A and B are shown apart, each in its own frame.
Chain A
């Protein structure tokens, strides 16, 4: 069954030069416009590219993958074969190719032929994106077949040049043989390089001497003249060829510089999205690994003259402590070149320079432990600078974040102070008044009034104690002073403790539904009792003497709890806010509550890894629900000792 071609991905065939990025961007745009997934592929042809070109292609693929593309690295005998194979498997709805507008006629012909073949073999329409620059083509190692082909081509060229030159000389007496051979040598040089041209010239000279020597022999007067003129022409041709080759080199290094600046731009962009030093280090290390074939780490000065190494995973090479290593910068590199990295113990070090001295170092270890080649020092330094900029930015962001948190804490503190000072003053005023009245009036006060005042002192102090206890609980929970000590235990024990404590404070009509087969739960008994106490006490207040229900049941990996009443319920707009600190329902301000009970429940349940929420009970009333994780197996009970009591 063939997939529907209209639904297939957009296939982008990517080369290795800097202009390939246009193809990636064309891919993003098309994928966005058509709402299709997109696939970026690079075809590696045996002997078809240098290791640098492969690295480059990898860098572009990585970029594409960060932009959301699926990526593929195909190995095939030819680019066309690789693309056709991939297209058969993936049935793309569109193929995007690069179109080299400049370059030699051969290149244009080749790319046109490739498109034709692809168009013939593929169902999908092809979009050729013009690339402004000539496709990069470096010296490439040739296969045996290609070499034989070259030799044959050379033979044909030389023979043609010989025949044409000789027939020219015969027909019109023009001594064009040397000129023809020089022309042939220049063409060979242009097409196959200097070594091939020299070899061909040698062969041509020998042929000249053999075939067209005058009867006076190759070393006669005429022969010498011919040889000299041949050598002069050849010299001129080679000089010209050398110039052309230099130009080619320069244009090639220009392309490399262009690719490097694009890489730096991409690195900077990726780093700017990092929000922690760990992320930035991971990005930098990954990019360096791809481009320099080396493992890389960010070394940041940590506590007590030790390095904080990022990324922290995996084994890492030893290195001297910050005090020694940082003292070696700046200008620590071998020689006077300011770009030179420090090479020490099979690792290279480059400073991550900040405005006030290095923030740290970038450490590199190539697979063989050799130093970074000089040609790449500049790029390495530029990478380190990008890393340092990212670190600097992250530090500022963190400082801003800290300031914001401090602000927030300050606001919470003043809210707390406001609430506490009000809630503390009220019972204190009552206690103070009652006590001073008792002291002042003494025996003269009727027995009933005296009892009332004493009872009020007791009740108000109980309220004060509750408020302080809640405040302390919440502060300790939030600051992490209270540690949750989970132990496997049956839920009915915690429920029993909470009910027992509440019943001592007054009658509580609770209907409890605890199935006997409920599995033990890992929880902190003391803290969870507090949760149930708060929920049940709330329910008792709001149920207005009506029944309160407490139920528990086992979920798939949880134990579920519900505390429900038939009171007025909680309006849905307060379902979330009711768990906030100091939140009071608008109609229940000043009823003696503290607005802390549910916040404490929330903190405790969360500390258990669980969830608490409130819902409307069917038929009216509130239903508080708790879901606690109960995964894993409880320890088995011990065997009874042999001895009877």
Chain B
């Protein structure tokens, strides 16, 4: 079986020196680009299975690179960003990036995110209608949610919200994406709707709603349905 190929578009040498051996050590094939233009050329030439894209590039805006790659490729793109770039992160996610990592990040967290993204890309949307995560199980075909085998009654809106999160299981979904998928265009900007329904959903699903295990908050960005509970995302 051919190992997946990963393209790193990152201008900082120190980070490349950490990323390349870490990924090669896991058996991935790695290509490296130091500028946005080079990154676009490499992406066109190799059509990599996954792109790690730094938002702060010397020659062009990382969001522009993202837009151009997304114009022709559905392959997963992970954003590497600094702290306090929440608005840029949200913009990148809304433009079609799959997830983000905030610098500095550890190897375990990086590899976990890459695994989730590749699994998502490999799985056709219709298959595997049952998602399981710890005691939570979600059957997308039969519209059934159970916690420790006990069925949970959800309102239609709550179910739609959970379903929208499950479609990106393990990856972050922005407020805008969730609002659009659950409420449609009328929901734009109404983040407090989301918060209220997320609260009720947590009370029905989470063993302790104040310490969510499944429905994680990404402050200022969105929510994530955690898939690898207990796997530990090291610092």
A residues in contact (CB < 8 Å) with B: 458, 461-462, 465, 469, 472-473, 476, 482, 485, 487-490, 492-497, 499-500, 503-505, 512, 514, 520, 524-526, 529, 634-635, 637-638, 640-641, 643-645
Contact = CB atoms under 8 A, between A and B. Distances in A.
Contacts of A472: 83-84
B86 interface: yes
10 contacts: A489-B192, A496-B209, A496-B211, A497-B219, A499-B211, A505-B235, A524-B220, A640-B157, A641-B183, A645-B163
Interface in B180-235: 183-184, 186-187, 190-193, 195-199, 202, 209-212, 216-220, 232-233, 235
Contact of A487 (B155, B157, B159, B192): B192
B104 interface: yes
Contacts of A462: 235
A526 B219 contact: yes
A458 B109 CA distance: 14
Contacts, number: 92
A482 B233 CA distance: 27
Contact of A461 (B104, B199, B210): B104
B156 interface: yes
Interface centre among B84, B183, B197, B198 (most CB of A within 10 A): B84
B16 interface: no
B143 interface: yes
A164 B143 CA distance: 129
B209 A489 contact: no
Given A497-B217, A512-B211, A638-B190, 9 more contacts: A472-B84, A492-B210, A493-B198, A494-B219, A512-B210, A525-B219, A637-B192, A637-B193, A641-B184
Interface string B159-179: 110010000000000000000
A461 B105 CA distance: 11
A489 B163 CA distance: 22
A239 B191 CA distance: 94
Kindly name the residue among A487, A505, A512, A638 whose own CB sees the greatest number of chain B CB atoms within 10 A: A638
Contacts of B217: 493-494, 496-497, 500, 525
Nearest to A493: B217
Given A492-B209, A493-B199, A520 B216 contact: no
A504 B210 contact: no
Contacts of A524: 220
B156 A504 contact: no
Interface string B88-102: 000000000000000
A526 B220 contact: yes
B195 A489 contact: yes
A644 B156 contact: yes
A520 B156 contact: no
Interface residues of B, number: 38
Interface of B: 83-84, 86, 104, 106, 143, 155-157, 159-160, 163, 183-184, 186-187, 190-193, 195-199, 202, 209-212, 216-220, 232-233, 235
Contacts of A473: 84
A439 B197 CA distance: 54
Contacts of A458: 106
A476 B84 CA distance: 10
Contact of A640 (B155, B184, B195): B155
B195 A497 contact: no
Contacts of A493: 195, 198-199, 217
Nearest to B216: A500
Given A638-B183, A638-B193, A504 B199 contact: no
Contacts of B218: 497
A525 B156 CA distance: 27
Contacts of B198: 493
Contacts of A497: 216-219
B84 A488 contact: no
A583 B219 CA distance: 29
A343 B197 CA distance: 68
Nearest to A481: B84
A469 B86 CA distance: 15
A641 B193 CA distance: 13
A101 B198 CA distance: 87
Most chain B beta-carbon neighbours within 10 Å: one of A465, A473, A496, A525? A496
Contacts of A499: 210-211
B185 to A, nearest CB: 12
Contact of A469 (B83, B193, B219, B220): B83
Nearest to B162: A645
Nearest to A497: B217
